[in-house]
Each structure stands twice: as C-alpha cells, then as structure tokens.
C-alpha cells in the first residue's frame, strides 16, 4: 500500500477528537483547544478546522508537541506544499520546512533570521501564491517575537470610493527581491541569491484586489514587503496609491497580535491576511518551523 493510501486509511479510521474553537475578541483569529495533532484528524473534524480557518483567517493550535513529519502531514491536508527558494534554510531531510530562526551556530545562521520583517502575504511573488502557512514554535525568546496579522478583507472595505475607482481592474507587480537586502533586525543578514535562485523569483503580476476562491470575499492584495508598483500608473501616482493602500491595510482595529506560547502551531490564510514579524532581542534564541501550502492564481 502506498504512503498516500496509508494516510487516507489512517484518516478514515481516526477517532473523533474533542476540541473547542474559541474566537478571539478582536479583529481576526481563533484558538483551538484540546486537539492533538500527533493523532490523525478524521474527515469530520478536519471539516470543522477548515471552516474555522475560512471564518477566522488565523488559527492557533495550542500545545502541539508534533514532529516535523506530523506538521508536514497535517499541512498537506490543505494542499500541495511549496519549497522555499532559500534552500540553505530548509530543515535537513524535510525540505518542506523552512527554518525561521535568529540562532547562529559555528558562525552560521541556522535559519532565516529576518523572515517577515515587512508586512507581506507569503509567496505573493509567485505565480501561485500561498494559500496559507503553518508556523510551529520550537524555541521562543523570553521577550519579543510577536507576529501581527492584518485583515485584508476589512482593508478593502475601508478603501474610499474615489480610491476604488483608481485601482479598479488594475494589477500590481510583486517581487521577492523588492526589499530583500534591507536590514531591519539587528544581527540578521540574508545570503546573496544565486542565478538559479533569482530565476525562481522573477517578477509576477497579480490583481490589486483579489477574490478569495473559497469564501468569495474581496481583499486587497498588495504589501510593502513584495509589491513594487501598480501596473499602468505613473511612478509617482503608483507610489502614492500604494502608500494609501498600505495605511488602510494596517488599521489598528483590524490587527491581531499573536504572543507566542510554547508549542503553538499558527495557521493563517495568506489570501485574507498580511503579517509582520516584530522581532526580538538578537541575543535571545528564537526558532520556528514553517510549512507553506500552495494556493491558486489570484483573480
């Protein structure tokens, strides 16, 4: 029997679990209490989780003492996984996992230390951007390290009519290298990209306003991290419009601040949100494992 058949058999025979989905009081997000992802999740429980992800955009699975294999397996339930271009920061034996870490060992960064240093939606610089990302806490600092999430559906709702007319039907360019080399967090650096890596992150064009393929809602799909210009607008106007959209994207009432707890697994919808890493003191160790699920071409 193949690995895929074994996985399906395990899911089909899995016992239901007793867990609670608790929405946060603020803009977005919910925590899931009592679910054990070291055990197979049956189809009915998975349907509840999937629905909660669409409704709340970010889910926090508490106290998940899972292996990399188990994180990869659960992530694959949502779709095909994407391999990050920075191969040097992939987990040995598990290329589906990007190590996000500020730790330096033997003079070498063990992971991507400044991941998320600007507001962004993961892999918006690809033809098929990410559906969602899962980040599992391995080591957490005693202070700092929070992650912010902003609701881009509500950002679209906040766009005034005059600005809607300017961006109606327009596309924007996204590039991984847009702000790649800009430093923000002390003690972190990024390796120079090889010709092969640069070929994997060529500029792509996506709608400024996208439609979520599962819930049908419209959302802004631009970010300070990866968006470089609005196609067809003069440079000055493009910069001005983007700055207005960025400001509307991060209104305080539409932001959830995640304060990490040990063994948190956070799963967010890159079609609905942008996110930002706030950083932590350079001398405090932080390490997380990220899997990224491929989405559809934005429309």
Catalytic positions: 120, 122, 275, 290
Q: With 0-12 CB in 10 A as exposed, 13-18 as middle and 19+ as buried, what is 191?
A: exposed
101, 91 in Cβ contact below 8 A?
Answer: no
**Closest listed residue to residue 230, CA positions, set 295, 276, 166:** 166
CA-CA distance, 59 to 70, in Å (whole number)?
17
Check: CB of residue 220 under 8 Å from CB of residue 209.
yes
Nearest in space to 286 (alpha carbons), one of 113, 105, 89, 140: 140
- The Cα 276–Cα 257 span in angstroms is 9
Q: Let me know: does 40 contact 10? Beta carbons within 8 Å.
A: yes
């Amino acid at each position: 029997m193949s690995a895929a058949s074994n996985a399906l058999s395990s899911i089909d025979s899995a016992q239901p679990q007793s867990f609670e989905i608790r929405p946060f009081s603020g803009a977005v997000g919910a925590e899931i209490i009592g679910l054990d992802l070291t055990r197979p999740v049956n189809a009915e429980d998975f349907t509840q989780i999937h629905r909660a992800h669409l409704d709340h955009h970010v889910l926090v699975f508490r106290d998940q003492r899972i292996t990399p294999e188990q994180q990869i397996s659960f992530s694959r339930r949502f779709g095909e996984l994407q391999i990050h271009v920075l191969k040097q920061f992939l987990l040995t034996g598990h290329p589906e996992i990007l190590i996000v870490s500020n730790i330096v060992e033997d003079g070498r960064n063990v992971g991507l230390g400044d991941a998320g240093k600007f507001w962004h939606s993961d892999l918006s610089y690809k033809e098929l951007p990410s559906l969602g990302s899962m980040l599992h806490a391995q080591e957490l600092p005693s202070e700092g390290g929070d992650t912010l999430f902003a609701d881009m559906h509500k950002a679209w709702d906040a766009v005034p009519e005059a600005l809607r007319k300017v961006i109606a039907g327009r596309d924007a360019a996204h590039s991984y290298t847009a702000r790649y080399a800009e430093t923000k967090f002390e003690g972190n650096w990024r390796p120079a990209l090889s010709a092969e890596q640069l070929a994997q992150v060529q500029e792509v064009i996506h709608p400024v306003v996208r439609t979520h393929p599962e819930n049908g809602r419209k959302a802004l799909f631009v970010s300070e991290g990866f968006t470089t210009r609005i196609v067809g607008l003069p440079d000055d106007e493009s910069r001005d419009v983007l700055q207005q959209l960025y400001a509307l994207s991060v209104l305080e009432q539409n932001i959830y601040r995640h304060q990490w707890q040990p063994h948190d697994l956070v799963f967010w919808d890159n079609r609905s949100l942008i996110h930002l890493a706030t950083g932590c003191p350079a001398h405090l160790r932080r390490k997380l494992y990220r899997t990224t699920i491929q989405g559809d071409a934005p429309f």
